[in-house]
Structure 1
């Protein structure tokens, strides 16, 4: 049970850090495409991170 709680905490931390990082990168003017390429993810996922970061 403790392991599941730890995984949940890590997921929340990773999500928060991801949003903060996306916000910082977006403030620097980096495009969603460039972020997606650097992270090895899709443009759609990178754009979602940008939008989430802007709403915070």
Structure 2
């Protein structure tokens, strides 16, 4: 959903997590990949078959 540009609030609602949890998960993914933003991190993960 992040790869498609969904806002954090929408992601949180659709996966039944708090907004803060989703933000923390996305921040961790961004840091681990050295990505510029959550969209780039999600695209990189999908490109490598991780998601």
- The two structures have a TM-score, normalised by structure 1, of 0.49
Q: 1:55 aligns with which of 31, 36, 46?
A: 31
Identify the structure with the greater helix proportion: 1
- The two structures have a TM-score, normalised by structure 2, of 0.53
Larger Rg: 1
Aligned length: 32
Pairing of 1:1-56 with structure 2 (within 5 A): 25-56=1-32
Which stretches of structure 1, 4 residues or more, deviate above 4 A after TM superposition? Answer: none
**CA RMSD across the alignment:** 1.2
Gaps of 5+ in 2: 33-51
